[in-house]
Amino acid sequence: EEAEERADIAESQVNKLRVKSREVQTKISAE
């Protein structure tokens, strides 16, 4: 169970990073 929890946490962190990089790319292309 602990491993599953860690996987969920890692997944959410990756998703956050992806969202951030997407926002950055959008800002760059908008300028």
pLDDT of residue 31: 81
Distance CA 3, CA 19 (A): 24
Distance CA 5, CA 9 (A): 6
pLDDT of residue 1: 84
Answer positive or negative: Cα dihedral of 16, 22, 26, 27. Answer: positive
Distance CA 12, CA 6 (A): 10
pLDDT of residue 16: 98
Tell me, what amino acid is at 5? E
Per-residue model confidence as pLDDT tens for the chain (31 residues): 899 999 999 999 999 999 999 999 999 898 8
Read off the tokens for 18.
Answer: 């992806």
